[in-house]
Amino acid sequence: MDVQTWTYILVGITFTLYIGIAIWSRAGSTKEFYVAGGGVSPLANGMATAADWMSAASFISMAGIISFAGYDGAVYLMGWTGGYVLLALLLAPYLRKFGKFTVPDFIGDRYYSKTARIVAVFCALLVSFTYVAGQMRGVGIVFSRFLEVDINTGVIIGMLIVLFYAVLGGMKGITYTQVAQYCVLIFAFMVPAIFISIQMTGNPIPQLGFGSELNDGSGIYLLDKLDGLSTELGFAEYTEGSKSMIDVFAITLALMVGTAGLPHVIVRFFTVKRVKDARKSAGIALLLIVILYTTAPAVAVFARTNMIETVSNQPYANVPEWFKKWETTELIKFEDKNNDGLISYVADEVKNELTVDRDIMVLANPEIAKLPNWVIALVAAGGLAAALSTAAGLLLVISSSVSHDLIKKIIKPSISEKGELIAARLSAVGAVCVAGYFGINPPGFVAAVVALAFGLAAASFFPAIILGIFYKRMNKEGAIAGMVVGIVSMLLYMMKYKLGWFDAELPDKSEWWFGISPEGFGTIAMILNFMVSIIIMKFTKAPPQEVQHIVEDIRIPSGAKEASLH
């Protein structure tokens, strides 16, 4: 069978599974819609968290970035993995003990202020919409290549699928759908990686394979070969970094603390019964995430090496079928500048004739390596699982922010549970439409868009959550001022240096503040947030005594008070 037939079969089976789970586990109450009734097991929650966390950026884009950036791409590995550890150890148990459905709910109650809640809702919506744009773009890319429809049509199909199980099942449906999606995405990522590792090095473990000798008898190590291929074409050595140390530090920290402030990941820890279960599910999720994250650098090396050897300086007339298929999506382009019929792929922009979108590297990798058609189709199903799982989680954050935090808590406190559930579902419909628009018109490739979402989360939520848990003197005036300064500064920097809104053309990298890229500016915005919060707090009155008691209480382990009485 050809690739398209296999894709229809595997994508059809997985989509049927997701829809079937959504129907089986549809939400009947607001608690089921927001936090799956609070009765999810640690294992199921760990798998769902891993799927929620490993978005299209992790599955499709991360290895693509590393394959082009080489050593510099490690910032994404360090930042995202380290950030999850930070979230699991530093925040998740305390937020679970506080017992609120959403991040704006925590901020609104902890800072005893409707204004704080409104600012938090705005930040949650901004972060979620920025993040979901990347997911929808990923869905469009997969559909456009493997089902041979244009990217916009692919985005619309993805919107309809997510809309069905997010609106019907809420968090309950999403949780059990994400368990299935984790199984699909990890299998789809690992199978081709193992195949290609054996093919290139004879080692079935990709994590070891990309540091091994090639099995062609040359005695050359794979990374040495890639370094040589890169320098021949005028690129920097693959294993050498070119980013400044301050930018590497800033991006890594922004991704780390942004992770700890991501509302769609934090809400997962409210779906379990006890604080102990939140810790367990965080540990399980981390182990499941590590499988993909330690494999991504190997996939990047395999894909980059195979692509260079397959197309560089080859006659265009003889390019393989995969190249022609991806050309139809316009994500890979050849322009014969010197009319010699050869594909000149070099670092010199004037002489270079090949443009490759980074987002295709993981998806095209099995085709470049000439793996069986069912493996190629499996990767398509995995990419869709990764994008849809995160998109669903984000849409739930958006709908709960509107229905629970805005309508229930501020606009109409008297709304019935049924009315709130209807509002949540209508909010999800509106969110899907907006997400689809951003998926069709995204500001960059998937991982870059997602990195900006992390910067926004770092700039807004992280200081407010940390200070809210660990500093009982922190008051509403400080938290509100800090969040506003943080999010506004991040937005202005992003608009100027990433989107080019204030200039005729996009400013040069030499104009970046302190040499820090827009993806890393979340670190600076976060520091500003902390500084403003603490300074304003010093000159305003302390929080009410009952709020200070709540802060003390959430840091005391369950049962500690009883034990101290004996």
CB 483 within 8 A of CB 525: no
> Which tokens sit at 221?
């190590």
Helix (H), strand (E) at residue 355: strand 354-356
**475 half-sphere exposure, CB direction, 13 A CA radius:** 12
- Conformation bin of residue 466: beta by default, left when phi > 0, alpha when psi is -120 to 50: alpha
Rounded-to-integer distance, Cα 386 and Cα 27, Å: 23
- Give me the residues of the chain with pLDDT under 70, please: 25-39, 100-101, 165-171, 442-450, 504, 556-566
List, in sequence order, every residue forming a beta bridge with 385; answer none if it has no partner: none
Sign of CA dihedral 109, 112, 114, 116: negative
**How many contiguous H segments (helices) and E segments (strands) does the chain have?**
24, 2
| Alpha carbon distances (Å) from 292 to 76, 138, 207, 298, 367 | 13, 17, 10, 10, 20
DSSP code of residue 334: E
Q: Which pLDDT value is given to residue 563? A: 40
Helix (H), strand (E) at residue 315: none
Q: What CATH architecture does domain 3-557 belong to? A: Up-down Bundle (1.20)
Give residue limits of the domains in the chain: 3-557
Instruction: Decide: residue 62, CB within 10 A, 0-12 exposed, 13-18 middle, 19+ buried.
Output: buried
CB 515 within 8 A of CB 521: no
Torsion angle of the four alpha carbons 452, 453, 456, 460, in this order, in degrees rounded to the nearest 10:
-160
**Residue 464: closest CA among 454, 455, 448, 476:** 476
CB 447 within 8 A of CB 64: yes
User: Who's near 319: CB < 8 A, 6+ residues apart?
Assistant: 311, 334, 343
**Rounded to the nearest 5°, which phi and psi values hold at 272?**
-100, 165
Helix (H), strand (E) at residue 402: none
DSSP code of residue 29: S
Rounded-to-integer distance, Cα 132 and Cα 126, Å: 10
List, in sequence order, every residue forming a beta bridge with 213; answer none if it has no partner: 221
| Alpha carbon distances (Å) from 410 to 25, 115, 220, 507, 545 | 30, 10, 65, 41, 23
Rounded-to-integer distance, Cα 14 and Cα 60, Å: 18
Q: Which pLDDT value is given to residue 351? A: 85
